Amino acid sequence: MSANNAISVYAPTNTLVITDYADNIRRLNRIIQSIDQPTQSDIYPIQLKYASPSTFRRRFPD
């Protein structure tokens, strides 16, 4: 990336706004496409019967 670049994050739409020279943007686009891939994991919601979500979160942090 050049010294005149800018990368901004717009979280509500999960968007990156990149300003730079065209060659650098094309290179960044290839890098982003290689990283931004669907995950292989599945997410299943689990209904807690006895513990509160905050208790569970304290016992099993990220």
| Distance from chain centroid for Cα 57 | 21
Mean pLDDT of the chain: 86
Distance CA 40, CA 49 (A): 28
Map out the domains of the chain as residue ranges: 1-37
CA angle 9, 11, 17 (to 5 degrees): 30
Give pLDDT tens digits along the chain (62 positions). Answer: 667 788 899 999 989 999 999 999 999 999 999 998 887 778 788 888 888 888 888 887 76
**Which pTM value belongs to this model?**
0.53
> Residues of 1-26 as b/e, b for ≥16 C-beta within 10 angstroms?
eeeeeeeeeeeeeeeeeeebeeeeee
